[in-house]
C-alpha cells in the first residue's frame, strides 16, 4: 500500500497498483534493512515488468501493493514510528469504549459527543486511507481499495452507523499491518542471501595493505582474507590448502578444502588460516553477484495464476462498484416501501466486500514464499512462473558429466603390459601428462603424484590433436593417448584394449605397447536417488544425453536406473532430441551444466542448471539453478512447486466462496458491515497465514 505520508504519494499511486512479486517484498536493498541499504552492490537490478524468454508477458496489473517503494516510506514505521500498532490499539480502545457507552446509555454520550468520539477513533486509523483516496482521484486511478474503503466507512458515518464505520477501517488497517508482517517474513531467507556480500576487502598493493570497497578492486589484485572473513570477490587461491564454509552459496554445511590454484568464490567464509587470493572477476561479475541478480529478477516474473487474478481484479472491482450503485437506485423504481438508508447500507456492505485484498496479496505472497523456500533449500527459481511450469512437467532430460556424475575424472585402474612395472609406468606417464591441460591429463597427474615430480627430464613434448602426447621422459620415448595414437606410430596392442568401456590412456614405451590407464567419472552420491524420486514423483520419461562415448553413457545409465540414454552427441544432437520430445507434446525439463548445454537449457520448457560447477552461460540461461549441484534437488524443487500451487489455489477458492456468499447476503440485506469486514479483511488474513505456511514446510 502506498504511504499517504509520503511527499510522492501521487507518484506512488501510479506504480503501487502493480500486483506482482516485485511489489510484494521486492528485493531492493533500501526496502530490506538499513544495513543492507548501505552495503555495496555490483549492479542494480530493479524489478521491472519483463517478458521472459518463454514469451510470458509481465503485464501491468491493478491491485494491491505492499512495498515501501524507493522513497523509503513503508508500513514498517507508520504514524506510530517504531510502534505501528499504537494508533490501532488506541482506536480499538475508543471503539470498545464507545460501544460500552452506547450499551449502558451513558447520559453524556449523546449529541455531538458521540460522533466526535467515534470520529477521532476513525481518523486515528483512517486518515491515511482518506488522504490516499483523495490523491488518487486526479490520477484516474479511481477503482482502488482506498476509495472503496473511504466511501463505505464515510457512508456508514453518514447514516449514523458510527461503530461499524470505525470497525471496518480499524480491521482494514490491522489487516494491512499483518500483511506487512507476512511479507517481511517471506523476505528473510532472501535478505540473508543479499547480506552475504562482503562490504570491504583487504588488498596488497606495493607492499601495503589497503582496506577498500570491493567495487574498487582490479583484476589480478591480491586479496588477503583472514580466518572468519568472507571472500569478497572470485579468485584463485595463491597457496593452500585452506578450508572454506560454502553454505551461503551451496547450502552445504560441510566445509570445502581448496588447494593452491583452485577457484574460491565470493560469499565463502575462510575458516582456519590467513590466505591470499588472486582476483579473477570484478565485483559485478562474481558468481555471487549474478546469483543476487537472478533472485532480484525472479520477483518480476509472474505466474499465469497471478496474471489471471490481477487481470480479473481490474474488471471485478468496477463491476461491483457499479452493482452497488444499481443496488441503491433500481429498488427506488420497483420497491413500494423503499427506504434509502436501508438500500444505501446494503450498497456500502457491497463496497467493503468488493476489495480484492485476499486475492491480490495472498497469491503473490504464496509464490514469493515458494521462491523463498526454494532458496533455503539451495534452489533458485528465476520467476514464479517457473514454479507452475516445473509442477506440470512429465519428462526430465539430463546431461551426464557434471550433472549426474561428479564431473571430475579420476584414474580407476593401472594395467601394465607383461614385463612392465605398474609403478614405473605410472611415474613416467604422470611426468609426461604434466605438460598437458586436458582434464584426463590432470587426473593422471593427480593420481601419479608425488612420484611424477621425481622426474625432471621431460623433453621434446608434442601434443597431437585428437590423439594424445609424445615425448622424451627420463631418456625414453613415451606415447600416451588413445588407440589412434598407437596406430599412428605403428604400435601394436592387444585387441581386448578396444573392448574397455571406460575412457583409457593407452601407453607405449620406445615403440612397444606398455599398458593402459582407465579414467572414469563417478556418479554423484545422490544420482540414483534422484532418478528414483523423480519416477516416484510422476515423471514418466527420464532420458540421459551426453557427448561422452556411448558405451560409457549406457553403463552409467544402467547403474542409475535410466532406461533411455544416448551418447556421442554434439550440442545440436542434444537439441534435436529435446525438440523431438517437445514435438510429441511433452512438458520437458532439461538439466545440464556445461557451456554446450546452454542452447538446450533455453529450448526446454524449464531449463535447470547445476550452479556449483556449472558454466556461467548455462546458469544465466537456465530458469532454475541448483546451487548444491545435487540432482536430487530436482525432485525437491518439484515438491516446492506443488506445495506452492496447492496453497495458491486454496486461497483463491477461499476468497471466491466467502466473498460470493457474503455478497449475496449483503444484496439481500442479510449481511451487515461486520460480515463484510470478515469477508474482506478476515479472509485476507486467513489466506496470508495459509501462504506463510510454505516457509515452514519441510521438503
265-276 confidence digits (pLDDT tens): 887 888 888 999
pLDDT of residue 416 exceeding 50, the answer is yes
SS3 call for 556: helix
DSSP letter, residue 392? H
Residue 173: closest CA among 72, 90, 63, 71: 90
Q: What is the pLDDT of residue 51?
A: 34
Long-range (24+ apart) CB contacts under 8 A made by 386-389 are 386/301, 386/606, 386/623, 386/624, 387/303, 387/640, 387/641, 387/644, 387/645, 388/303, 388/304, 388/305, 388/641, 388/645, 389/54, 389/587, 389/605, 389/606, 389/623
**Across 219-232, average pLDDT:** 90
Strand order in the sheet with 458-464: 405-416, 512-523, 503-509, 476-481, 468-473, 458-464
Q: What is the pLDDT of residue 596?
A: 59
Residue with cell 597457496: 239
Helix axes 86-103, 113-136, angle to 10 degrees: 140
pLDDT of residue 391 exceeding 60, the answer is yes
Q: CA-based angle 321:346:348, to the nearest 5? A: 50
**Across 678-685, average pLDDT:** 76
Residue with cell 506487512: 180
Confirm whether pTM is higher than 0.85: no
pLDDT of residue 507 exceeding 60, the answer is yes
Domain parsing of the chain, residue ranges: 218-281, 382-405+523-641, 407-522
CA distance 164 to 149: 12
Helix (H) or strand (E) holding 565: strand 564-566
Residue 359 exposure: Cα atoms within 13 Å on the Cβ side: 27
Max mean pLDDT among 145-149, 295-299, 389-393, 691-695 falls in: 389-393
524 is written with which cell numbers? 554423484
pLDDT band at 258 (very low <50, low <70, confident <90, very high): confident
Q: CA-based angle 619:623:626, to the nearest 5? A: 60
Q: CA-CA-CA-CA torsion for 365, 369, 372, 377, nearest 10 degrees?
A: -170
**Across 232-243, average pLDDT:** 88
Q: What is the pLDDT of residue 357?
A: 65
In terms of pLDDT, which residue wins out, 634 or 289? 634
Contacts (Cβ under 8 Å, ≥6 apart) of 122: 91, 153, 157, 162, 165, 166, 169
Surface-to-core class of residue 255, CB atoms within 10 Å of its CB (0-12 exposed, 13-18 middle, 19+ buried): middle
Q: Centre a 10 Å sphere on the Cβ of residue 409 and count the other Cβ atoms it contains.
A: 23
526-544 burial, b at 16+ Cβ within 10 Å, e below that, comes to bbbebbebbbeeebebbbb
CATH number at 218-281: 2.70.150.10
461 is written with which cell numbers? 613434448
**Across 163-180, average pLDDT:** 79
- Report strand pairing: 468-473 vs 458-464: antiparallel
Surface-to-core class of residue 315, CB atoms within 10 Å of its CB (0-12 exposed, 13-18 middle, 19+ buried): exposed
Q: What is the pLDDT of residue 452?
A: 52
| CATH class (in words) of the domain with range 382-405+523-641 | alpha beta
Residue 408: closest CA among 451, 450, 449, 447: 447
**Across 151-157, average pLDDT:** 84
Determine what percent of the chain is predicted with pLDDT higher than 90: 26
**Across 132-157, average pLDDT:** 80
DSSP letter, residue 679? I
CA distance 493 to 195: 60
Q: What is the pLDDT of residues 34-87, one digit of tens each?
A: 333 333 333 333 333 333 334 333 333 333 333 332 333 333 333 444 578 899
**Across 467-473, average pLDDT:** 89
Q: What is the pLDDT of residues 567-606, one digit of tens each?
A: 888 777 888 999 999 999 999 999 987 655 777 887 888 9
Residue with cell 439481500: 668
Residue 558: closest CA among 393, 407, 394, 400: 400
DSSP letter, residue 57? B
Q: What is the pLDDT of residues 509-554, one digit of tens each?
A: 999 999 999 888 788 889 999 999 999 999 999 999 987 778 888 9
Q: Centre a 10 Å sphere on the Cβ of residue 602 and count the other Cβ atoms it contains.
A: 17
Q: Is 399 a catalytic residue?
A: yes
Q: Centre a 10 Å sphere on the Cβ of residue 653 and count the other Cβ atoms it contains.
A: 9
> What is the DSSP annotation of 480-530?
EE-HHHHHHTT----GGGGG--SEEEEEEETTEEEEEEEEEEEEPTTHHHH
Q: What is the pLDDT of residue 195?
A: 59
pLDDT of residue 129 exceeding 90, the answer is no
319 is written with which cell numbers? 463491476
Long-range (24+ apart) CB contacts under 8 A made by 69-72 are 69/2, 69/3, 69/6, 69/8, 69/12, 69/15, 69/16, 69/31, 70/28, 70/30, 71/6, 71/7, 71/8, 71/12, 72/30
**Across 110-128, average pLDDT:** 94
Q: Centre a 10 Å sphere on the Cβ of residue 245 and count the other Cβ atoms it contains.
A: 19
Q: What is the pLDDT of residue 78?
A: 39
pLDDT, the chain, mean: 77
CB of 263 closer than 8 Å to CB of 217: no
pLDDT band at 349 (very low <50, low <70, confident <90, very high): confident
CB of 402 closer than 8 Å to CB of 594: yes
Contacts (Cβ under 8 Å, ≥6 apart) of 13: 2, 132, 135, 136, 139, 141, 144
Question: 523: which strand partners?
Answer: 405
In terms of pLDDT, which residue wins out, 660 or 528? 528
Q: Which of 399, 526, 623, 629 is catalytic?
A: 399
Please, what is the end-to-end C-alpha distance for the chain in angstroms? 32
pLDDT of residue 188 exceeding 90, the answer is no
In terms of pLDDT, which residue wins out, 37 or 229? 229
Q: Yes or no: is domain 407-522 CATH 1.10.3720.10?
A: no
Amino acid at each position: 500500500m502506498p504511504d499517504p505520508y509520503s511527499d510522492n504519494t501521487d507518484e506512488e499511486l501510479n506504480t503501487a497498483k502493480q500486483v506482482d512479486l516485485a511489489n510484494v517484498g521486492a528485493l531492493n536493498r533500501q526496502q530490506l534493512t538499513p544495513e543492507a541499504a548501505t552495503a555495496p552492490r555490483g549492479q542494480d537490478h530493479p524489478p521491472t515488468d519483463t517478458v521472459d524468454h518463454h514469451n510470458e508477458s509481465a503485464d501491468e496489473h491493478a491491485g494491491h501493493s505492499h512495498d515501501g517503494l524507493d522513497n523509503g516510506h513503508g508500513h514498517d514505521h507508520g504514524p506510530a514510528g517504531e510502534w505501528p500498532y499504537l494508533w490501532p490499539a488506541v482506536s480499538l480502545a475508543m471503539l470498545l469504549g464507545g460501544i460500552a457507552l452506547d450499551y449502558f446509555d451513558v447520559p453524556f454520550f449523546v449529541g455531538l459527543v458521540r460522533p466526535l468520539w467515534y470520529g477521532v477513533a476513525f481518523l486515528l486509523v483512517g486518515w491515511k486511507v482518506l488522504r490516499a483516496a483523495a490523491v488518487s482521484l486526479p490520477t484516474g486511478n479511481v477503482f482502488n481499495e482506498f476509495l472503496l474503503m473511504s466511501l463505505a466507512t464515510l457512508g456508514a458515518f453518514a447514516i449514523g452507523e458510527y461503530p461499524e464505520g470505525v470497525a471496518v477501517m480499524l480491521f482494514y488497517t490491522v489487516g494491512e499491518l499483518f500483511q506487512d508482517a507476512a511479507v517481511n517474513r517471506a523476505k528473510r531467507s532472501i535478505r540473508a542471501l543479499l547480506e552475504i556480500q562482503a562490504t570491504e576487502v583487504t588488498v596488497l598493493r606495493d607492499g601495503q595493505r589497503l582496506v577498500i570497497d570491493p567495487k574498487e578492486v582490479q583484476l589480478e589484485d591480491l586479496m588477503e582474507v583472514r580466518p572468519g572473513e568472507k571472500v569478497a570477490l572470485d579468485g584463485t587461491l595463491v597457496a593452500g590448502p585452506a578450508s572454506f564454509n560454502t553454505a551461503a552459496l551451496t547450502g552445504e554445511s560441510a566445509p570445502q578444502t581448496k588447494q593452491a590454484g583452485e577457484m574460491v568464490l565470493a560469499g565463502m567464509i575462510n575458516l582456519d588460516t590467513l590466505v591470499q587470493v588472486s582476483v579473477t572477476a570484478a565485483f559485478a561479475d562474481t558468481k555471487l553477484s549474478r546469483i543476487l541478480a537472478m533472485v532480484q529478477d525472479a520477483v518480476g516474473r509472474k505466474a499465469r495464476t497471478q496474471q489471471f487474478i490481477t487481470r480479473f481484479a481490474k474488471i471485478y472491482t468496477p463491476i461491483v462498484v457499479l452493482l452497488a450503485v444499481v443496488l441503491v437506485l433500481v429498488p427506488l423504481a420497483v420497491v413500494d416501501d423503499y427506504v434509502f438508508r436501508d438500500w444505501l447500507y446494503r450498497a456500502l456492505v457491497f463496497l467493503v466486500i468488493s476489495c480484492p485484498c485476499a486475492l491480490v496479496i495472498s497469491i503473490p505472497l504464496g509464490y514469493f514464499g515458494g521462491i523463498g523456500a526454494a532458496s533455503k533449500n539451495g534452489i533458485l527459481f528465476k520467476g514464479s512462473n517457473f514454479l507452475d511450469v516445473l509442477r506440470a512437467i512429465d519428462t526430465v532430460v539430463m546431461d551426464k558429466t557434471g550433472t549426474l556424475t561428479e564431473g571430475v575424472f579420476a584414474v580407476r585402474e593401472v594395467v601394465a603390459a607383461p614385463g612392465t612395472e605398474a609403478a614405473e609406468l605410472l611415474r613416467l606417464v604422470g611426468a609426461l601428462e604434466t605438460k598437458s591441460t586436458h582434464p584426463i591429463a590432470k587426473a593422471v597427474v593427480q593420481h601419479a603424484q608425488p612420484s611424477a615430480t621425481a622426474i625432471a627430464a621431460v623433453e621434446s613434448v608434442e601434443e597431437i590433436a585428437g590423439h594424445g602426447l609424445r615425448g622424451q621422459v627420463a631418456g625414453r620415448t613415451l606415447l600416451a593417448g588413445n588407440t589412434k595414437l598407437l596406430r599412428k606410430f605403428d604400435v601394436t596392442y592387444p585387441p581386448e584394449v578396444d573392448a574397455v568401456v571406460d575412457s583409457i590412456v593407452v601407453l607405449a614405451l620406445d615403440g612397444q605397447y606398455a599398458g593402459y590407464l582407465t579414467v572414469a567419472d563417478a556418479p554423484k552420491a545422490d544420482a540414483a536417488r534422484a532418478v528414483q524420486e523423480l519416477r516416484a514423483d510422476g515423471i514418466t520419461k527420464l532420458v540421459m544425453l551426453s557427448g561422452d562415448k556411448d558405451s560409457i553413457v549406457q553403463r552409467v545409465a544402467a547403474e542409475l536406473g535410466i532406461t533411455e540414454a544416448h551418447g556421442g552427441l554434439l550440442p545440436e544432437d542434444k537439441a534435436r532430441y529435446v525438440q523431438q520430445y517437445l514435438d510429441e507434446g511433452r512438458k520437458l525439463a532439461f538439466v545440464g551444466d556445461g557451456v554446450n548445454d546452454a542452447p538446450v537449457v533455453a529450448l526446454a520448457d524449464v531449463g535447470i542448471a547445476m550452479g556449483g560447477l556449472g558454466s556461467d552461460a548455462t546458469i544465466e540461461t537456465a530458469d532454475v539453478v541448483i546451487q548444491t549441484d545435487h540432482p536430487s534437488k530436482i525432485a525437491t524443487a518439484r515438491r516446492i512447486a506443488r506445495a506452492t500451487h496447492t496453497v495458491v489455489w486454496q486461497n483463491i477458492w477461499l476468497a471466491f466462496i466467502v466473498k460470493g456468499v457474503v455478497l449475496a447476503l449483503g444484496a439481500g440485506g442479510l449481511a451487515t458491515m461486520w460480515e463484510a469486514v470478515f469477508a474482506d479483511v478476515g479472509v485476507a488474513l486467513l489466506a496470508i497465514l495459509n501462504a506463510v505456511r510454505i516457509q515452514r514446510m519441510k521438503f
